[in-house]
Amino acid sequence: MRFILRQISKRVGAPDIVRERPLASAEPVVGRGSDCDIQLTDLAVSLRHAVLKPAGAGRVVVEALGDEKFEANGKFVHSASLSLADTPVLGFGSHVLTLSAGENGDIQALLTARESIAAAHAAEDQKR
């Protein structure tokens, strides 16, 4: 079971940039540090914030590596055991990591930026 990271970067007035790559680690670390498998550029994220561990049978365990919590399906926790069938959503500062089952038992990890409230209001104003 391996993790495939799919990262989407939004651009104003242009198509999104989509990057996809397999992660080398069987238990990828999420954090701000340059040694992390899933690196997030956000001061609200610890240098080594959490680790993702495959737990067999379509499950993933996510554990904080320090005192800082992370968001799992809307709740702030230190640890979570998640079913990929539920498409769990993890929050780390301004970033959202959505997990799902991929092909051949792979775990898909979709990384996007959390839309700020100000940006959401600006988008609504432009629609009017």
User: For residue range 1-43, what is the model confidence (pLDDT) as tens digits?
Assistant: 799 999 988 777 888 888 999 999 999 999 999 999 999 999 9
CA atoms within 13 A on the CB side of 88: 19
Per-residue pLDDT tens digits for 100-121: 998 888 999 999 987 644 444 4
Q: Which of 65, 52, 49, 70 is nearest to 2 (CA)?
A: 52
Pull the structure tokens for residue 21. Answer: 């790559």
The DSSP code for 77 is: E
Q: Which of 35, 54, 69, 63 is nearest to 99 (CA)?
A: 54
d(CA 57, CA 88): 15
